[in-house]
Structures are given as C-alpha cells and as structure tokens.
Amino acid sequence: MSIKSIAAKIFAQKIYKKTQLWANNPVETQKKVLQKLIKDAKQTQFGIDHHFDQIKNEKDFANQVPVRDYEALKPYVDKVVKGEENVLWKGKPLYFAKTSGTTSGAKYIPLTKESMPYHIEAARNAILHYIHETGKADFVDGKMIFLQGSPLLEEKNGVKLGRLSGIVANFVPKYLQKNRMPSWETNCIEDWETKVNAIVGETFDKNMTVISGIPSWVQMYFEKLHQKEGKPVGEIFKNFNLFIYGGVNYEPYRAKFENLIGRKVDSIELFPASEGFFAYQDSQKEKGMLLLLNSGIFYEFIKNDEFYTDNPKRYTIGEVELGVNYVLIISTNAGLWGYNIGDTVQFTSFKPYRIIVSGRIKHYISAFGEHVIGKEVESALQEAIIGTTIRINEFTVAPQINPAAGLPYHEWFIEFENEPEDSVSFAEALDNAMRKQNMYYDDLIVGKVLQKVVVTKVVKNGFQDYMKSIGKLGGQNKIPRLSNDRNIVDLLKSK
C-alpha cells in the first residue's frame, strides 16, 4: 500500500466524522445555513427588496421570498452580468457558469468565493466516503479521467465565464495533477468527437483506475476504446474499478456498460449542477445520495402535485416524507433565492437524509392526465429488460395524440445495442411495467383511452446525431427522458 493510499484512508476517516456532525443534526443545520445566508445578503439589493432584515425563520423567508425560476430572477441576474455589485450576493461573483436557456437563450449562473469551494469539496468527499466504507484506496495511485467541458474561460464585465465542468477543471488539487487525464491541451478541444478521439489516444495505454462523466458520453469513449483495441475496457484498463457519474440515472446504461467493460465495477453517483452541488452517494449499501445540508444551500421542497396550484406549501427538511415527489427549491451563497432548478427528488431515508433524482418538473408526459415522470419510465424500462439480453444505448418517450389509426399511445424511441428477440413481447413487458409504475396510466389503458406502448427503433448513433444537430454533443448535455410534445422525436424521426 502506497503512502498516498494510506493518507487517503486517514483523510477519509476525518471527513466521515466531520460529515456525521451535521448529518445527525439536519434540522438545526439547515436553520443555521438559512440564518447565515440572510445575514450575509441583508445589504444586497435583493435582500433590501425582500426585507431580509425582518426575516427571523423559515416561515418568514417563505412569506418574503417567492419561488422563482431563472426567467423570473433574470432582472437581478442581468444587473450582475452587467457588472453591478451587491445585487444578489455581496460583491461580484468569481465566475458565471454558462448554460443553455429555454426562452432567454444563454443562462448565467453566478458562482461566488463562498459557493465555489463546496463544488470542489463535494466531489472530493464522495470519493473519501467510498474509501471510508470500502477500504479501497489503491486507485489513488493510478490515472483518473474526468470527461468534461473545456477549461478555457471567457470574460464578461470583469467576471470569467464558462461551463461548470470547465470551471471546476481549473481547481483540480495539486496532489491529483499528475494523476489527472486527459492533458490540458486535449481538455481544451471544443468539438466533442475530436476530443474523445484525442482522449482515447492519450489514455489507451495508461493505468486508468477511475473514470468519471455523464454515462452517455462515457459510453462513447468506451466504444471508441473498444474499436481501437478490440477488447473490453476492463482488459484495456486492468485496474479500472471505479466509475463516477452524474446527470442521469445509470441504471438504463448499466447492462451496456458492463458489456463494454467486461465485468462489474463500483460506481458513485453525484448530483452536481451549475446552481450547486446538492448530493452524492455516500454508501455502496444504501439507496440514494446524501443531501448536503451544510454546504451553503437552504433547501425547500414543494410536492409535485401541488406545484402548479396557487400558493403551494413549501416544506423544509424536517417536514418531508419518504417516497413523495418534490420539486427542489434552493437558496444559496451564490445569490439564488427561492430558486426552482427544475429537478424533482424523492427521499429514500431520513437517517441520514438521502435522495434520488426522480425527474424534471418540465419533463413529463401528461397529455391525458397521467403525469408520467422520468423515474417511472426509467424503472419500467429496467424491469422490462431484466433477465433478457436486451441492451439499451439511449431512449426517450413522447405521446402520440393523433395517430393515423387507433387509440393514442405513448411512443418509446429506443436505440438498442442488443435488440429484443421478440419485439411484441418486449413492448408488452414495457407496458405492464409502466402500468405498475403509474396508476393513472394504468387507468387509461384499462379504460381504453390509450392503447399499449409503441416502441420505435432509433438507428445506431441516432441520438448522438440529434444532439450534434442541435449543438449539444458531449459535455454536460443529456437527452430528456420524456417530453409532453413531439419536438424531439420528430427530429429523431428525420435522421
């Protein structure tokens, strides 16, 4: 065992104990976080506009600060982008994380000197919790790759901006610099396909032990490795035993990954976003990710089915229930207040508070009142392929409201790696699994409002071609699991 791996185990023990202090006192921890946020932002323009000097508790905060998405907060953000100080948070931000917007074009999410360290520490602590629980630390001596956006940054009115993953790439600690792959020059390549080819060329003969990224784009890397070397990734990288991912559910990809790797490897799930690093998997034995309650973020939760009602109740950490879908609302030390990031979560445990990401509040199908969410389609697909040789590369689901003949239906667009031997039986299994997941969908099938699901095969690399056509190939971009319209699938059909 190397000195570095021994040191990693000692550090992991220290971080684990530190985590337990706040994880065992969740309600009090969150109260302190809110109090500090209010105190630090009291003299900002937002704080003055929303009477932060009168806020004493969570109820006051909910009364004074309405829930907003980016569009509603944009008038304040625009002032920050123009270079004004003390608008949403004291001073100016360190960075803007630039992301794709919906109606307003690019979104500029502020990152401050108070918020930035938590993005770095959370990813580090996820690995340290893994080391503490499993005792495995030898991987720290090998090469680690993080598939991410370019670290080259632009500047806007004195503030640097770029993709979050590119910004974070500038903060890799010195003790990991020699282990980190790919090279700086390769990481700066903007074109994703060119970049992945360069990464393959740099890494195929290295001792890779940790690989990290969004599963769909890591899959592309694995496929190119396999094409180059003609053998499973697990044979190319004999000491590769840890996959770290975030952004999407890994389960739909797991069978394909294990086939590409040739064996099982441990995995750690992360829940990072430009707006904050919210959770990470702290245990290989327990379901869900540890919600980070002591990271400069105050959390509120709104039940999915109440979100679009007038004045829905905002629940704090001590009021939530297990297994209920909540819209995640955050207030942060980067100056986001009552902010709806669009993700929905479910709690899997209270000791400590762990969550899973169940979907997106805007990504659902409810063309007939069924309100199907991302977690349900992912779980249904996983159930339908258990015990089969079917492997999935990618998928998305959309309603077909006006079919040429027959009843409407949910149409599943699936890119198969291994196709079903019997497509009719597969569609039947998929439909039955969906009926278990969503009782409203089951009612629509029983009531003959909908016919059973229709599976449409997508050509090889069809999803990659679609993402490329809209300028979102690679990086942190991902395919929505489901939509309430056919904008995505109509483009897929045209490929």
Strand pairing class (242-246; 208-212): parallel
State yes or no: pLDDT of 235 exceeds 60.
yes
Q: Which of 57-61, 271-275, 479-483 has the lowest mean pLDDT?
A: 479-483
Cβ proximity of 202 and 221 under 8 Å: no
**Residue 21, C-beta contacts closer than 8 angstroms, at least 6 positions apart:** none
* Percentage of the chain exceeding pLDDT 70: 97
Pure H helices in 308-385: 374-385
**What's the farthest any 2 CA atoms get from each other in the chain?**
69
Q: Which helix (H) or strand (E) holds 145?
A: strand 143-146
Confidence (pTM): 0.82
Give residue 175's pLDDT. Answer: 66
Give residue 102's pLDDT. Answer: 44
Q: Which of 95-104, 204-213, 303-312, 479-488 has the lowest mean pLDDT?
A: 95-104
Output the six-digit token pair for 493.
Answer: 């059909």
Strand partners, 243: 211, 267
Give residue 249's pLDDT. Answer: 76
Distance of CA 463 to the CA centre of its chain: 19
Give residue 103's pLDDT. Answer: 45
Closest CA to 484 of 395, 403, 400, 394: 400
Give residue 114's pLDDT. Answer: 97
314 vs 440, higher pLDDT: 314
Rounded Cα distance, 164 and 161, in Å: 9
The alpha carbon torsion through 290, 292, 293, 294 (nearest 10 deg) reads 130
321 vs 165, higher pLDDT: 321
Give residue 456's pLDDT. Answer: 93
Confidence of residue 98 (pLDDT cuts 50, 70, 90): confident
Note the pLDDT tens digit of each residue in 209-230. Answer: 999 988 878 888 999 999 999 9
Average pLDDT over residues 417-427: 94
Distance of CA 83 to the CA centre of its chain: 30
Burial of 242 from C-beta contacts in 10 A (0-12 / 13-18 / 19+): buried
Cβ proximity of 67 and 314 under 8 Å: yes
Rounded Cα distance, 389 and 187, in Å: 36
Render 363-432 in DSSP notation, one character per residue. B-B-TTS--B-HHHHHHHHHHHHTTS--EEEEEEEEEESS-SSSS-EEEEEEEEEE--SSHHHHHHHHHH
State yes or no: pLDDT of 475 exceeds 80.
no
Closest CA to 160 of 104, 118, 74, 97: 97
Q: Which of 165-179, 296-310, 349-363, 476-490 has the lowest mean pLDDT?
A: 165-179
90 vs 402, higher pLDDT: 90
Give residue 193's pLDDT. Answer: 85
